[in-house]
Amino acid sequence: MKIYTKKGDKGTTGLFGGSRVSKDDVRIECIGTLDEANSTIGLMRVKLGADHVWQQNLQKVQKDLMDMMSHLARPSDAKKENKNPMPVDGAVFCEEWIDSLEQEMTSPSDYFLLPGGNEVSALCHLARTQMRRGERRLVSLMKIDTVHEAIPAYINRLSDLFFTLARAEMDKAGVAEEKWQLFLYKRFKQPEA
């Protein structure tokens, strides 16, 4: 089977179930952004090396993103069933990994940071921002079609996870964080009585 079909030459693409939409449809924008993030994670895994402790979890994230994109490619009125698994535990998976990473770090997360630090940390920030953009496109999609509740929760937590991974990488490498501002809720926290 050839990789090219020529069906998209006029600016449309096929959805799960057979319908076609414009390539700039909000559903395609959402899926495309998550695909970009997945590619960034792939590059990050290459930079980390095959034996890195994050490899297994990052591979899970990549596979889960593929499954979520397949579900997002299926409109709620599609007759054909999607047999790919729905990663319903994604938000909890991220929270547990974040908690584990934070316990290992030498300082708490109280500041907005300038993205960078080293190459892996910068890639984590790139994945984080792509997840945030994917989340914004997902919200737009949710205004016009139903989306399984596990997907927005997982995507939201993934951006938090990649922020934490960026910090963990810098902490492990002994690279100082470039702090911008204290988190808003920390700036206006009331003193305890």
CATH topology for 20-74+88-187 is Hypothetical Protein Ta1238; Chain: A; (1.20.1200)
pLDDT at 33: 97
Torsion sign, CA atoms 9, 12, 17, 19:
negative
Residue 173: the pLDDT is: 85
Contact criterion met (CB below 8 Å) for 35 and 69: yes
Question: Would you state the pLDDT for residue 188?
Answer: 58
For residue 90, what pLDDT is reported? 97
HSE-up (13 A, CA, CB side) for residue 62: 15
Q: What is the pLDDT of residue 193?
A: 55
Q: Which residues does 32 contact at the CB level (< 8 Å), separation at least 6?
A: none
State residue 21's pLDDT score: 67
- The pLDDT tens digits for 67-81 are 999 999 998 888 888
Residues of the chain with pLDDT under 50: none
Residue ranges covered by each domain of the chain: 20-74+88-187
**pLDDT at position 145, please?**
96
- Whether the CB-CB separation of 78 and 19 falls below 8 Å is answered with yes
- Are 158 and 91 spatial neighbours (Cβ–Cβ below 8 Å)? no
**Predicted pLDDT at 79:** 83
pLDDT score, position 63: 98
